[in-house]
Amino acid sequence: MNATRARILRGVDASGHGAGQAELVMRTRHRHLRLMMDRHLALAGPAPSPSSRPPGTVDALAEDERDFVRQVVQVLETHRLAGDFEHLAVFATPPLLGRLHTEMPARLAAILIAERPRCLVHLPEAELLQAVCHDLGASEP
């Protein structure tokens, strides 16, 4: 997971084999950033400088990131409540690991078996499964 994209592998057992369940992919919508940019462009006129950063950009990005982390945690919690998994391993950029842990309800955090400061969202599906299994010490599929 990074600040804009999350991939959730489901049905991976201790041996590293998948149960054929579809991977979930989530992307942020950058809602706060788009609103801020729309307001800035409306006020700035037709030709803003490409090097100028609109005021509030950092705040809008931080808000979008917070919202995205909350959405990912909500999806995970919904699937936990449905009994879709009993264990959870999280791979995310280092700053996001802390945010995810802060947002997790206690029952979701209780089934967390691993947290790795590593972003794997760019990998193809087969390589993603191999990387996860390798990091978790499971035999690769």
132 within a domain of the structure (yes/no)? yes
Work out how many domains the chain is built from and give that number: 1
Using the structure block, give the residue that is written with the tokens 């309800």. 105
39 within a domain of the structure (yes/no)? yes
Written as tens digits, the pLDDT of the chain (141 aa) is: 877 778 888 766 655 555 455 567 766 665 545 555 555 545 555 555 545 555 545 576 778 788 888 988 999 999 899 998 888 889 998 988 989 989 999 999 999 998 999 988 889 888 888 888 888 886 554
103 within a domain of the structure (yes/no)? yes
Domain that holds residue 113: 5-136
141 within a domain of the structure (yes/no)? no
Is 112 in contact with 89 (CB distance < 8 Å)? Answer: yes
25 within a domain of the structure (yes/no)? yes
78 within a domain of the structure (yes/no)? yes
The pLDDT tens digits for 34-50 are: 555 555 545 555 555 54
The pLDDT tens digits for 10-28 are: 766 655 555 455 567 766 6
49 within a domain of the structure (yes/no)? yes
Token pair of 5, please?
Answer: 């994209």
11 within a domain of the structure (yes/no)? yes
- The tally of CA atoms less than 13 A away on the side-chain side of residue 13 is 6
pTM: 0.69
Q: How many angstroms separate the CA atoms of 96 and 13, rounded?
A: 25
